[in-house]
Structure 1
Amino acid sequence: MEHLYWDLGSRAGGACFEVELRGSAARVCLMDVDDYQAYLDGDEYEYYGGFFDVSPVVLEVPYDGYWYLVVDSNGRRVRVQFTEVFD
């Protein structure tokens, strides 16, 4: 399964990330460790986010844990920039 991903490490619930997509719409997801492994294994998984064709996208970490940011553009070329947003 082709996708882009970033290891965000341990994050507190409420942390926010702004994701900028260039070149294609994509599914942008925050996944915890277990769900990311299930995604890689082709098993059922849950994520926070969705399919976006307009950016920037802002995603909030729902609870304390270890997180991955995953971008799946279904094989289309996409450039991604993201930053953590602080209030």
Structure 2
Amino acid sequence: MKHLYWNLGTYAGGAVFEVELRGSTARVCLMDGDEYQAYLDGDEYEFFGGFYDVTPVILEVPYDDDWWLVVDSNPDPLRVTWSQVFD
């Protein structure tokens, strides 16, 4: 499964991230560690986010945990930048 990913680390609920997409639309997912592993295994998984064609994408961490940011790639070139905007 082709995707871009970043281990964001441990964050408390309420932390906010801004994701900028350049070059293409993409599906942007915020997942905890268990859901990311299910994603990798091809199992059912849940995530926060969705398919975006307008950026920046603002994602809020819903609860305390370790978090992964996943951007599903597509055939078009894509550049992704992200930053934490609220702790």
C-alpha deviation, 1:84, in angstroms:
0.2
Gaps of 5+ in 2: none
- Among all aligned residue pairs of Structure 1 and Structure 2, give the percentage whose two residues are the same amino acid: 72
Give the structure-1-normalised TM-score.
0.96
Provide the TM-score with structure 2 as the length reference. 0.96
Distance in 2, matches of 1:85 and 1:38, equals 28
Deviation for aligned residue 1:86: 2.4
Matched residue, 2:33: 33
- Give the Cα–Cα distance (whole angstroms) in 1 for the partners of residues 86 and 47 of structure 2: 22
Post-superposition offset of 1:27 = 0.3
C-alpha separation between the residues in 2 aligned to 1:75 and 1:62?
Answer: 31
* CA RMSD of superposed structures (Å): 1.1
Give the aligned partner of residue 69 of structure 2.
69
**1:15 and 1:60 in contact (8 A); partners too:** yes
2:69 maps to a residue whose letter is L
Question: How far apart are 1:77 and its partner, in Å?
Answer: 1.7
SS at match of 1:40: helix
Q: Please list the CA deviations of residues 52-72 of structure 1 after superposition, one character each: whole Å capped at 9, or x if unmatched.
A: 000000000000000000001
1:1-87 alignment runs, 5 A limit:
1-86=1-86
- The CA deviation at 1:34 is 0.5
CA contact (8 A) 1:28 1:51 kept: yes
Q: How far apart in 2 are the matches of 1:83 and 1:4? A: 15
Dislocated runs of 4+, deviation >6 Å: none
